[in-house]
Structure 1
Amino acid sequence: MTESVARSRSLADEAAALDAADPLAGKRAEFDLDDAVAYFDGNSLGAPPKHVAQRLTEVVREQWGGRLIRSWNDGWWDAPQRIGDRIAPLVGAAAGQVVVADSTTVDLFKTLVAAVRANPGRDEILVDAGTFPTDGYVADQVARLTGHALRRVPVAELADAVSERTAAVLVNHVDYVSGRLHDMPSVTDAVQAAGAFAVWDLCHSVGAIPVRLDECAVDFAVGCTYKFLNGGPGSPAFVYVAQRHQAEFDQPLAGWAGHADPFAMEDGYRGSAGIARARAGTPDMLSMLALDAALDVWDGVDLAVLRAKGLALGDFFFQCLDELLPGAEVPTPRDHARGHQISVCDPGGQQTMDALHRQGVLGDFRPPDVLRFGLAPLYTTYGEVLRAVTTLHGLR
């Protein structure tokens, strides 16, 4: 037996033992996954829970088809707040502070404009230098429309960069390329100590790690639902507005859904009380209710257990790399200051990821040379981690 085969067998035994002891192992059966595929792209598009298709059929046939227009009064109109309250525990928020509405991009725009409007007399917005492109694009346009200057600053330097000029700071909780987890409590404290508002992008952390918005006294946050929350392609995003800021949340998209009395058809706009004022247009009910169904898989899930498994999956990924691909360049932190993805630099880039796809290992690629492997604790197995690294090893 060669040394390489012996290492692989040892890792296979370890993976089998870890999977057998996994407290979340039963959750995988709730997802519609092909066992021939090892899925590592839940950080871009989560896998579908099995029951969502049937629930949507009921929505189309019984609610849309049966109740027709009456469905708006049967629960559709209030769904954004109701589903927001289902997401609230996943982001460490009390009820009444999260609403599901619009896309991540639209929610970022609404929230960042509201943040700078709530902090007059300051002429600057900061955004983390490694931000997801959409965040940067939106921040550029908000600065342009509001007359603010925009500065891009590495997260590690934000505490020194924020000043009495800064109205708001937009930060990604988890870096989308490296998977690095940024320190929400310390960054928020530094931003607020300078009198600025902290706006957090939770797209790569919600549903992956425990988020503690209330505990960290975060001002505003946005997040998507189609990644680790498994809401489906294009499922609506959410906005968090801390209770203390809701009365002053003056967002720029004054649509009828955020009106204090939407069916009064008044000429002038009056913002709704509470979190509903973060709404804008008519909600996309099919996507909204698909998300509502998908959130059922979170019932009874202990987020501490979820986090422990996500970190353990990452640790095992590193172990497999060390034994099968020693010397691989990995920008993801080895310590636990990371989200639930492992990024591996590979000179083959997209060609390597395409080859992995052909062998049933589905991750994704980010330029110039980063292969990303998302680890969704509700359904990713240790055996799949080994398969990913073994397949990558075979391509080198």
Structure 2
Amino acid sequence: MPASPSTARAINDRLALSLLQQQGPLTAGQLKHLTGLSRPTVADLVERLTESGLITVVGESGEQRRGPNARLYGIVADRAYLAALDVRTESVSVLVSDLVGRVLAEGSVPVAPEAGEAAAVERATELVERAVKEAGLSADGGQLHTMGIGAPGLVDPATGELRDSAGLPAWHRRLVAALQERFPSARVGVENETNLAALAEQREGAARDRDTFVLLWLGDSCGAAVVLDGGLRRGASGGTGEIGFLPVPGTTGLPTATDCSGGYHSLVGAAAIVELAREFGVGPVGATAASLVAGVNAPQRGAGNCATSHDGAAPDPRPDPAPPTAHACFLDALADRVAVGVAAVVAVLDPGCVVLGGEIGPAGGAALATRVEARLGRMSPLATEVRASTLGGAAVLRGALLTARDRAQDELFAAPDR
């Protein structure tokens, strides 16, 4: 059944707006070429979108031609403003942007949970207020159209709200309500931080060429995000990817419903990585897990084979004429641990690609990713490419901005029924 004229117009308008979002200002001729629409149809949609206040003339093309140069059309960036937040256990980061994603203000503050819920919420809210002011928006925040928030824990797929999860600060849930109260005209949405990181990697990072992949978040805690056929999978309760609870060999016990310390988390969480580095004599005391993985103060980033594997598996068979460094042996042992969880995910989902994210994944870079992929090749018959994140810890904030922009555009770009 063919689409109605109004539906066809809405589809064409959204296509044109998406192209302008992705590629920047375009001429009507360029829109015609990229959309495959006829010249009259493009002329109509340009007029319609201009009258709606969604696009405007932002300049002229530099083409030499008879008569005036072709007009360049671009999205009206100040039609709406967006905010994105990355809410961690002990810190909050924020950025404010216009509708095309140009960052106008950003900032971050530590939050001390021991100070109490009210103090934590107030400190985070004040950070957002300062960023809104620095972006040049009205003090009441009325120009703020959409706010995207990334936070650890489960997000109820039915209500879109953070669930009361064990081990997570109670002020996280209160913050969402406080921001909605402080900015009543803004559309406030919250999403699991790892899911947002995966969306950012899919749009702008290591998984841009993949419709199906898994992001393994490696930081203070661990988690996974699953993207299948281009869509994020959340699960019946919003818990897809709670890989920290995965029972694995090499731990001292089993996880419980309220404590993942007996699961995969106890192998690859930041505290476990720091302890593993200490066993190999890598890095200074007090260094972060990410800096230890990156090889700060290591004499070299050698890839030599160590005599034994941390989990008892056979060492990498590739020849290595140079003796391995302590850092190389540490990375080998870490790769053994990471591969245990990755192998379980691959056996169930067969994603073809796993991105190592968080702070640890990009810190290890290709050196860690290559090791994990080699071990995975010996553990699983399913071909899987392992890549290091290109966005790292910044992926959560970027993902929050992208989802906020999508939500705003879905509303603002909805063509009127004409």
Q: TM-score range by the shorter chain?
A: under 0.3
TM-score when normalising by structure 1: 0.28
* Higher strand residue share: 2
TM (norm. structure 2) is: 0.26
In our comparison, the structure showing a higher alpha carbon Rg is 2
Say which structure, 1 or 2, has more relative contact order (CA 8 Å, 6+ apart): 1
